[in-house]
Amino acid sequence: MDLWFTEYYTKNARFSIKIDKHIISLESEFQRIDVFDSYGFGRILALDGYLMLTEKDEFIYHEMMTHIPMAVNPNIHDVLVVGAGDGGVIRELTKYNYINKIDMVEIDKLVVDVCRKYLAQTACKLDDLRVHIYYEDGLKFVRSKYNEYDLIIVDSTDPFGPGEDLFTKEFYGNCYKALKTEGILINQHESPYYPNDALAMQKAHKKIKSVFPKALVYQAHIPTYPSGHWLFGFASKGLDPIGDLNTGWKTLGIKTRYYNTDLHKGCFALPNYVKELLKNA
Amino acid sequence: MDLWFTEYYTKNARFSIKIDKHIISLESEFQRIDVFDSYGFGRILALDGYLMLTEKDEFIYHEMMTHIPMAVNPNIHDVLVVGAGDGGVIRELTKYNYINKIDMVEIDKLVVDVCRKYLAQTACKLDDLRVHIYYEDGLKFVRSKYNEYDLIIVDSTDPFGPGEDLFTKEFYGNCYKALKTEGILINQHESPYYPNDALAMQKAHKKIKSVFPKALVYQAHIPTYPSGHWLFGFASKGLDPIGDLNTGWKTLGIKTRYYNTDLHKGCFALPNYVKELLKNA
């Protein structure tokens, strides 16, 4: 059999992964959800046909969203995660025993149910006692929060479909309000390479910058995302991701396969063309 | 018309670019050479079916091979470039007016001829008066050199086919001998992600490390190379790419679209899984 999952990065570029089995395909109220067993990438999750994660490289995305802020502020106890139905960010957060509370707001319960059943690699810590899952709209959820979180991680889909609200100025403004003084906002920030992704990146940066006094962008190599060059946003009310990096992180003994302290410093050094795009956002 | 150029990264993963026209296809003594006009990536060059460069992102590869060593040692006057028939590395090197001599050894004259004719974006400086092109085997050429170059850049194809010799311990040993005391060897170092590339990376690193007292690896985001996560080797008789970074580089006024001094420092910070692979090489 010759079965391939293909994602079009633009109408002129596409990436394909050979599939063994189509495990499940469901249509939720919000999106189409597919799980495949692939050759070479383990199990993979797609939402509306876009690849969300592969077992082979999801660690890169989830580590980079989680450990960067955790290493900057060693006093993060209350965390809000928006989206992230696969549980990967939650798995990384639960490695910190001093986190007290993890609120997770995922609009689509079916994504969580599917991941619990078919993607234990990421969903394995969703039952941690500190995790409280709210099946709600992230934008609405955060609207009523004030000075409540040390960290908000926005692990959203792209800025169209169910994830669209999570790229609005209103949402970023509400996140600002929901964060404590030392609070940090991390968001998946699209990619600088293909024109549509680059535009989404610019728009997101412009909005975040208009709300947060500190708004930086960092990068990681995620081979199964479009271009493999993926960006994240680090926004805060003052904390600097490098200047305030807590050198004590290493002593926590947290095992990572991508993240380390040198890379933490290195990943904020962006190529000139990306800096240009952000400056002109 | 619906015409696609496809490269298989493994038998289970492939990347495709939509093609407008197949400009030329030739068979040299060493390999098959193809030039295409693509949609979205400009003109592209393939050797034996492997994508060598696209006009859209070749700047990343060529800048990272050239400016990293040039910024470490400000006294680089004599340079040897092995491979690099497309001329991209030469174009970057000619931006330094204090370089006196650039020897280029390319085994396949037809690659150079094709690039001169169809890829002016990279081949544009091959006629610089400082450039001397030798159509010879790189391994043999470097064998007779002693204490002659400040910098050797190995811009080879993969470690099979015509590029194979350029991944041998003998070749690295000859490069060591051909370099002056402050000499630097840069080589394209494959990728850590797909198993075959990772193995090639490990083998190359092991050999270079056995020859050079200093052997580091740095990374760049090159979206049209397998996984987008590409590595380069920096080897020297003593110079350290960060400790000896010459802060005067900025004052040269060289325009780059990817490289900058912060990124220079950042690109040597590798993910844990890559460090592990290199350690176990």
Q: pLDDT at residue A162 above 80? A: no
pLDDT digits (tens, 9 = 90+) for A137-156: 999 999 999 999 999 999 98
Confidence (pLDDT) at A275: 98
Quickly state the pLDDT bin for B164 (edges 50, 70, 90). Answer: confident
Quickly state the pLDDT bin for B119 (edges 50, 70, 90). Answer: very high
Beta bridge partners of B43: B37
Greatest Cα-to-Cα distance within chain A, rounded to the nearest angstrom? 56
Confidence (pLDDT) at A158: 80
Residues of A in contact with B57 (CB under 8 A): 193
Q: pLDDT at residue B161 above 80? A: no
Confidence (pLDDT) at A38: 98
Quickly state the pLDDT bin for B158 (edges 50, 70, 90). Answer: confident
| Contact state of A15 with B15 under an 8 Å Cβ cutoff | yes
Asked if the C-beta of B42 comes within 8 angstroms of chain A's C-beta atoms, the answer is: no
CA distance B44 to chain A (A): 13
For A117, other C-beta atoms within 10 Å of its C-beta total 12
CA–CA dist B68, B265 (Å, integer)? 9
Confidence (pLDDT) at A203: 95
pLDDT digits (tens, 9 = 90+) for A97-113: 999 999 999 999 999 99
| Contact state of B269 with A262 under an 8 Å Cβ cutoff | yes
Confidence (pLDDT) at B122: 98
ipTM of the complex: 0.96
| Torsion region of B240: left, alpha or beta (phi above 0 gives left; psi -120 to 50 gives alpha) | beta
Mean pLDDT over B110-138 rounds to: 97
Tokens of A264: 């933490």
Asked if the C-beta of B260 comes within 8 angstroms of chain A's C-beta atoms, the answer is: yes
Q: pLDDT at residue A247 above 90? A: no
B222 and B238 in contact (C-beta within 8 Å)?
A: no
The residues spanned by each domain of chain B are: 3-54, 58-279
What's the mean per-residue pLDDT of chain B? Answer: 96
Confidence (pLDDT) at B126: 98
Task: Write down the CATH number for the domain with range A3-54.
Answer: 2.30.140.10
Asked if the C-beta of B279 comes within 8 angstroms of chain A's C-beta atoms, the answer is: no
Confidence (pLDDT) at A147: 98
The three-state secondary structure class of A187 is strand
Q: How many CB pairs under 8 A join A and B?
A: 125
**Catalytically annotated residue among B34, B108, B155, B197:** B155
pLDDT digits (tens, 9 = 90+) for B89-118: 999 999 999 999 999 999 999 999 999 999
A253 and A277 in contact (C-beta within 8 Å)?
A: no
| Contact state of B41 with A260 under an 8 Å Cβ cutoff | no
Q: pLDDT at residue A84 above 90? A: no
What are the DSSP calls for A206-244, one per residue?
HHHHHH-SEEEEEEEE-TTSGGGEEEEEEEESS--TTTT
Nearest to B166 by CA among B195, B187, B148, B185: B187
Quickly state the pLDDT bin for A183 (edges 50, 70, 90). Answer: very high
Q: pLDDT at residue A215 above 80? A: yes
First to last CA, chain B: 46
Confidence (pLDDT) at A22: 98
Q: pLDDT at residue A240 above 80? A: yes
| Chain A, window 86-145: residues with a beta carbon less than 8 angstroms from a chain B beta carbon | none
Tokens of B169: 């311990």
What's the mean per-residue pLDDT of chain A? Answer: 96
Q: Is A165 annotated as belonging to a binding site?
A: no
Residue of A nearest to B2 (CA): A12
Quickly state the pLDDT bin for A210 (edges 50, 70, 90). Answer: very high
| Contact state of A267 with B266 under an 8 Å Cβ cutoff | yes
| Chain A, window 192-251: residues with a beta carbon less than 8 angstroms from a chain B beta carbon | 193-194, 219, 221, 223, 227-229
**CATH superfamily for domain B58-279:** Vaccinia Virus protein VP39 (3.40.50.150)
Q: pLDDT at residue A157 above 90? A: no
Quickly state the pLDDT bin for A163 (edges 50, 70, 90). Answer: confident
pLDDT digits (tens, 9 = 90+) for B53-99: 999 999 999 999 999 999 999 999 999 999 989 999 999 999 999 99
CA distance A227 to chain B (A): 5
CA–CA dist B258, B249 (Å, integer)? 15
Q: Is B93 exposed, middle or buried (0-12, 13-18, 19+ CB in 10 A)?
A: buried
Q: pLDDT at residue A235 above 80? A: yes
CA distance B178 to chain A (A): 32
Q: pLDDT at residue A161 above 90? A: no
Strand residue runs (E) in chain A = 3-10, 13-27, 32-38, 43-47, 50-54, 78-83, 101-105, 131-134, 149-155, 179-188, 214-221, 229-236
Q: What are the residues whose beta carbons fall under 8 Å from the beta carbon of A213, sequence distance 6 or more?
A: A236, A237, A238
* Degrees to nearest 5, angle at CA A200 with A82 and A27: 55
Mean pLDDT over B7-19 rounds to: 98
| Contact state of A268 with B267 under an 8 Å Cβ cutoff | no
Mean pLDDT over B241-256 rounds to: 95
Percent of the residues in chain A that have a pLDDT greater than 90, as a whole number: 94
Q: pLDDT at residue B267 above 90? A: yes
